[in-house]
Structure 1
């Protein structure tokens, strides 16, 4: 018998809150239960199956018979609680198709809009005098300006194939080590940290990596591939799963017709290596955001539309990428393909129209 490794305890007079952050469960313990839990924390071998409190703690998962093999966490417990506690979003029913997703999403939006909206931001409430800016001048000519204006999130894709050359360009500009910047390295750069990407990276560590999802890329069999930036190459990790890919995205089935996409991961062990304080955990997401935006702008410049999400069914994605119990973890997904440019899927549009007609 042992105490679950995924608990934290908060004092809340007249008792205490025990939170199982992995399974998203909260328990309120009175003095009697709290005292018994403290005794079992001191010595789990005191567990008595004839003690009602002991069996209730076991049934709740506060106690466990399982031997947990966990990756050593290089930072403090707070960042570990946040990372594990925000994985695998609790969902009573994962939408099985876009129609189900549309209804669930629309119901959620209706519930949100039925409550008061947040107050205006503090700077607006202060009522300071506003300084009117001049009208924006014409945007400069060039592909970057065009990509910034044209980039938008789309949720309808044709499934049409993309070329291997386009995928190669996307990977190189997003995650590749740029040969064009090799002359930037000088004597101030620590040996082994001289590689440069198009996006900034905390400490120059390039802690983010990528796994390419291939469904319809000319010249590349379907599957999931690890991208190796040093050699600008791919290696097959796994075939595509048998279930619809939308199940990996908490029921967001827009991914099902994406010809290609990128799972952005972070090498926490690299960040632990240089930065011992868990504030560096913030940098993992900042870097993933940089890379996501770079991918989208590059895809837009190539004439492709993009879709992105941070709603991952983490356990399934980790298994697909071969990252179970690893210090490398998936954080984000961005995909691209040919689209009619619609931000809203046709199923959601149809549902909105039918509900509007009923009113």
Structure 2
């Protein structure tokens, strides 16, 4: 008998809360149950098949008969609890097609809007006088400002293929080690930390990486590919799954015909190699955000529309990327393609129009 290794315990008088953070289950134990659990933690061999408490602890998953391998990721327990505890978003049902997603999403938005909105921002409530700023000056053609203004999230994509040249540009300017900056390194840079990307990275570690999801790219077979920043090259990882892309992204089936996307991952072992404290975990998400925005700006400059999400079915994605029980984990997804520029998919628009009250 073993103690579930994915537990943390919170003291809450008059008892204690035991949280199975991997399976998103919570239990409240009174003194009798807490005392018995403490005895079993001290010595799991004390487990007794005739003890009703022991049986209940086993049935709840607090105790387990399976051997649990611990992963040496090099991080601390607080960060591990947060990462594993926020994987695989708990939901009663994952939509199986675009129509189901539209109904679920519209119901969710309706429920949210029926609740009172948060108060205005504190600084807005406290401001006594506003200082007006000048209007933006005329923006030069093809400037970064115009790309920023042009970037938007779209949810309708065509079946038109993306060229391999555009994919190469996207990856090089988002994740590639820029050859143009190789001379921009002085003697103060520690060996091994000299590679430079277009986006900033905590400690110069470049702890984020990418896996390309290919559905319709000229010159590439559909499937999953790892991007190698040093070589600016791809390696095949797995064929495309039989299930649609939306199934990997918590039922968001409006994105099923997206031609190409990027799963942004984080190398936690690399991050903790330099920063051995919980706060460093934040930097993984900050860096993923930088890379995601860079990807979108490059795509916009190439005349493509973009879409992004943090809603992943983590276990399925990890398996597809070959990262089960690995120190490298997926955090985010961003994709692009040719689009009519619609923010809302047709199915959701149709459903919304039918639900609107008649005037």
TM over 0.5: yes
- Whether the 8 Å CA contact 2:3–2:44 is kept in 1: the answer is yes
Query: Any idea what SS the aligned residue of 2:183 has?
Result: helix
CA distance in 2, matches of 1:141, 1:157: 26
Q: How many angstroms does 1:81 deviate by?
A: 0.8
2:235 paired residue number: 235
Q: How many angstroms does 1:254 deviate by?
A: 2.8
Task: Tell me the matched-pair count.
Answer: 359
Greater alpha carbon shift after TM alignment, 232-241 vs 127-136: 127-136
- Whether the 8 Å CA contact 1:143–1:301 is kept in 2: the answer is no
The reply to whether residue 123 of structure 1 matches residue 123 of structure 2 is: yes
- Whether the 8 Å CA contact 2:75–2:268 is kept in 1: the answer is no
CA distance in 1, matches of 2:68, 2:334: 32
- Whether the 8 Å CA contact 1:99–1:347 is kept in 2: the answer is yes
CA distance in 1, matches of 2:70, 2:157: 39
- Whether the 8 Å CA contact 2:174–2:199 is kept in 1: the answer is yes
The reply to whether residue 263 of structure 1 matches residue 263 of structure 2 is: yes
Greater alpha carbon shift after TM alignment, 129-138 vs 340-349: 129-138
The reply to whether residue 192 of structure 1 matches residue 192 of structure 2 is: yes
- Whether the 8 Å CA contact 2:266–2:330 is kept in 1: the answer is yes
Q: How many angstroms does 1:143 deviate by?
A: 3.6
| Ranges in structure 2 where 5+ consecutive residues have no aligned partner | none
2:353 paired residue number: 353
CA distance in 1, matches of 2:357, 2:135: 41
Query: Any idea what SS the aligned residue of 1:218 has?
Result: coil
Query: Any idea what SS the aligned residue of 2:356 has?
Result: helix
Q: How many angstroms does 1:134 deviate by?
A: 2.4
TM-score under structure 1 normalisation?
0.98
Structure 1 residues 90-132: Cα deviation after superposition (integer angstroms, max 9, x where no partner): 0111000111111101111111111111111111222432222
2:225 paired residue number: 225
Q: How many angstroms does 1:256 deviate by?
A: 1.1
Greater alpha carbon shift after TM alignment, 26-35 vs 133-142: 133-142
| Ranges in structure 1 where 5+ consecutive residues have no aligned partner | none
Structure 1 residues 249-285: Cα deviation after superposition (integer angstroms, max 9, x where no partner): 0001133101111000010111111111121110000
The reply to whether residue 344 of structure 1 matches residue 331 of structure 2 is: no
CA distance in 2, matches of 1:127, 1:279: 32
Q: How many angstroms does 1:204 deviate by?
A: 0.7
Q: How many angstroms does 1:358 deviate by?
A: 6.0
2:175 paired residue number: 175
The reply to whether residue 89 of structure 1 matches residue 89 of structure 2 is: yes
2:245 paired residue number: 245
Structure 1 residues 12-71: Cα deviation after superposition (integer angstroms, max 9, x where no partner): 111111111111111111111111111111111111111111111111100011111231
Matches for 1:1-359 after TM superposition, within 5 Å: 1-357=1-357
Query: Any idea what SS the aligned residue of 1:11 has?
Result: strand
Superposed CA RMSD: 1.1
- Whether the 8 Å CA contact 1:70–1:325 is kept in 2: the answer is no
